[in-house]
Each structure stands twice: as structure tokens, then as C-alpha cells.
A = this chain, B = another copy of it.
Amino acid sequence: MNYSPPDQQTLEGVLDTVKFDKDGLIAAIAQSAEAPHEILMLAWMNREALAETLATGRVCYFSRSRNALWRKGESSGQTQQLVSARIDCDRDAVLVLVQQKGVACHTGRRSCFYHEVTPEGLRDTTAPEISAEALYGKSH
């Protein structure tokens, strides 16, 4: 269950095979290591975020809204520790198996995928486990 990073040279070789899109991004899926049936979230990584994730074992995304690296949990404390990382066949997506501290979703839910399509429309499958205030402080 422990991730072992490649050395810098090997890591650069891996990164060179990844096909980042025209905005320099790939899609990144986070899956729970403790409960692997649980898909926690989908976010984005640029080369720098993927490099940091694979070098440190702490998951780092790229925030498209902030246009900056997004070290998961740096404001909320809800970090993701990498267990394994897999690139897909056409090398434009990455699946990270992670140990999620607390919840992945900014709404306080464990997973971001909670709007289920039902015959009656969208239905929330889960309730928040923690408030936004507890996650981000009163100023949020």
C-alpha cells in the first residue's frame, strides 16, 4: 500500500510520455484506497502538478479557476496520500489511488459524485459529513 517514487531522471522520462492537452492538462481521477469502489473526484493536473504528485506522494492538482497548483488539502487539511498512479492507454489521463484524509469534496461529502440521475431528476446520494466552515474556517 506504499507508493515508491521514481528518481528524478526516471520521473522526467515518465512525464515525457504523457500527452497533455492544448491547455497543458490531463484529467486526474482520484479513487479511494481504503474503499476502492469509491471514486472521490475528478480534477486536472499540468506537468508540474503531476511531477510533484509523483515525486512527493502527496497529490497536487492544477486549479483551472485559480490558474495555480492546488496542493489538495492545503487549506482544508483533507490531504490525499498517493498509493499508486496509473496512466491510461492513450496517456492523457491518470488514475490515482489515494488515502483520503477526511472528505474529498468541498461540499463536505466524501465523494464529489453525489448527484445521481433518477427517473425524478437529480437526487443527492449523500449528505455532507462536515461543514464548509469546519473545512475552510469562518471566513470562507
| A contact set with B: CB distance below 8 Å | 4-7, 10, 13-14, 17, 27, 29, 31, 36-37, 39, 41-42, 54, 84-91, 93, 95, 105-107, 109, 112-122, 125
Nearest CB in chain B: distance from A91 CB, A = 7
Q: Considering the chains assembled together, what is the distance between the CA atoms of A107 and B41 in angstroms?
A: 26
Number of copies of this chain in the oligomer?
2
**Contact between chains at B121 and A10 (CB < 8 Å):** yes
Give the complex CA separation of A114 and B6 in angstroms. 17
Cα distance, A90 to B5, chains bound together (Å): 32
Contacts of A119 in B (CB 8 A): 4-7, 10
Residues of B within 8 A of A112 (CB): 88-90, 93
B117 x A6 contact (CB < 8 A): yes
Report B-chain residues with C-beta under 8 Å of the C-beta of A54: 117
Q: Do B117 and A84 have beta carbons less than 8 Å apart? A: yes
Q: Are B36 and A29 in contact (CB under 8 A)?
A: no
Q: In the complex, which residues of chain B have a beta carbon less than 8 angstroms from the beta carbon of A14?
A: 117, 121-122
B contact residues around A39 at 8 Å (CB): 29, 31, 39, 95
User: In angstroms, how far is the closest chain B Cβ from the Cβ of A40?
Assistant: 10
